[in-house]
């Protein structure tokens, strides 16, 4: 028999919701929420009954989050128009896990979310060894959604329930910000900048670089260990509207001068 001792965390809400869906089979979201309150209301913490600034009730949001995870894992589905359903895989889960399978369910949902390709993706997943493979239209879990969840959930609870997926999505976002470039391309780009700096310092260029450019040149030369060029640029550095930028460049130029003994 399924045991729901409390509704303290996300795992508890998922177990309670799937158990309820095993009874109602399918219903409008509003009906499911009302039935949830009727069946499990005595376990809902008072703090979860508070309204957020948006007007949303916390426990209702948690039920919707639970439904989202269960849907991605193939345990719940939808008939459209706000109708929630339990899938064959969800029914099989209840049969295979008489106690609700709280921790196993959390692992299943976490893995499903990690494999999620994005909103609208169609995927197949076996929820238990005896359950049929179920096709679901995935609702997806984005970094923005997780950020919103993170803002209202206790840090320890969020890390336990969503930390793995959150870290993966953050890493994926950072990876998309990385420019693919070969070593030769990097060398050519650096060479173009260095040649421009050297042409300016030797008077072979008519360029009149802005102070921001001088600052960036000093920084680049310092990083490339071209200390002579960085030190020589010091005399062209003036105070500007961004003192922090010029101050940092000045420190690098002075350090470069010390390195070359100037």
pLDDT in tens, 132-174: 333 233 345 678 878 877 776 677 767 766 777 788 888 888 8
Strand order in the sheet with 26-28: 26-28, 83-86, 76-80
Establish if 65 belongs to a structural domain: yes
Rounded to whole angstroms, how far apart are CA atoms 233 and 212?
Answer: 12
C-beta separation of 16 from 31 below 8 A: no
Same domain, 206 and 126: no
Instruction: Decide which of 227 and 181 is more confident.
Output: 227
Could you list the residue range(s) of the whole structural domain that residue 132 is in?
10-140
Task: Give the tokens for residue 155.
Answer: 């840090």
Question: pLDDT for 77-117, tens place per residue?
Answer: 988 777 899 999 999 999 999 888 888 998 888 888 777 54
- Name the band, by pLDDT with cuts 50, 70 and 90, for residue 238: confident
Establish if 152 belongs to a structural domain: no
In whole numbers, what is the pLDDT of the chain averaged over residues? 82
Same domain, 18 and 76: yes
Burial class (CB in 10 A: 0-12, 13-18, 19+), 141: buried
Same domain, 38 and 117: yes
Same domain, 32 and 83: yes
Q: What is the pLDDT of residue 130?
A: 39
Task: Give the tokens for residue 110.
Answer: 């976490």
Question: pLDDT for 179-206, tens place per residue?
Answer: 888 888 889 999 999 999 999 999 898 8
Per DSSP, 51 falls in state: B
Same domain, 15 and 93: yes
Domain total in the chain: 2
Predicted confidence (pLDDT) at residue 13 exceeds the cutoff of 90: yes
């Amino acid at each position: 028999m399924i045991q729901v001792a409390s509704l303290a965390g996300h795992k508890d809400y998922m177990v309670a919701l799937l158990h309820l869906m095993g009874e109602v089979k399918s219903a409008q979201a509003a009906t499911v929420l009302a039935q949830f309150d009727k069946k499990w209301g005595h376990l809902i913490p008072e703090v979860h009954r508070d309204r957020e600034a948006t007007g949303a009730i916390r426990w209702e949001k948690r039920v919707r989050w639970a439904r989202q995870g269960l849907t991605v894992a193939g345990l719940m589905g939808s008939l459209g128009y706000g109708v929630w359903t339990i899938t064959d895989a969800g029914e099989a889960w209840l049969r295979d896990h008489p106690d609700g399978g709280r921790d196993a369910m959390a692992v299943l949902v976490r893995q499903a979310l990690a494999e999620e390709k994005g909103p609208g993706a169609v995927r197949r997943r076996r929820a238990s060894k005896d359950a049929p493979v179920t096709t679901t239209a995935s609702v997806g879990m984005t970094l923005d959604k997780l950020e919103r969840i993170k803002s209202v959930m206790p840090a320890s609870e969020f890390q336990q329930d969503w930390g793995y997926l959150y870290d993966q999505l953050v890493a994926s976002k950072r990876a998309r910000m990385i420019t693919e470039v070969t070593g030769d391309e990097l060398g050519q780009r650096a060479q173009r900048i260095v040649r421009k700096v050297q042409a300016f310092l030797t008077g072979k260029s008519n360029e009149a670089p802005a102070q921001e450019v001088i600052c960036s040149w000093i920084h680049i030369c310092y990083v490339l260990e071209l200390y002579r060029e960085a030190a020589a640029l010091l005399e062209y550095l003036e105070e500007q509207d961004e003192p922090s930028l010029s101050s940092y460049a000045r420190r690098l130029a002075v350090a470069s001068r010390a390195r070359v003994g100037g």
